[in-house]
Structure 1
Amino acid sequence: MELAFIILVVAILCAFAVVRELKTKNMFGVAFAAISVLVFGFFSIATLYWELIRPLFQS
């Protein structure tokens, strides 16, 4: 569970990196940061869903 929150923080930091690299017009950096946001964001949201939300609806 803690891992999901850590990965979510990493995804948020990568989102800041996307904005920073867009300002400097570094498209290679934008691409890697955007891919990182997608991957880390997906796995953190999926893990939080699997561990927190899904058990609430099971009987």
Structure 2
Amino acid sequence: MKLQKVFLQTACEWTGIPLKENEIDKRAEQLSELFENAASVGLQHWKSRRARTNAET
């Protein structure tokens, strides 16, 4: 999970999206689930959809 955090922080800095220190773990997990399981079937797919909904709100 550490690499996802590094990618998240780098992307947020590069795009100018503010990211609080206490949000890093939560956002890294959400985005990881969103992209890694999007093409899955079954439970993993629904976890990815839920992560997308949570990230958008």
Sort the TM-score into its range (normalised by shorter chain): 0.3 to 0.5
More helix by percentage = 1
Q: Name the larger-Rg structure.
A: 1
- TM-score w.r.t. the length of structure 2 is 0.43
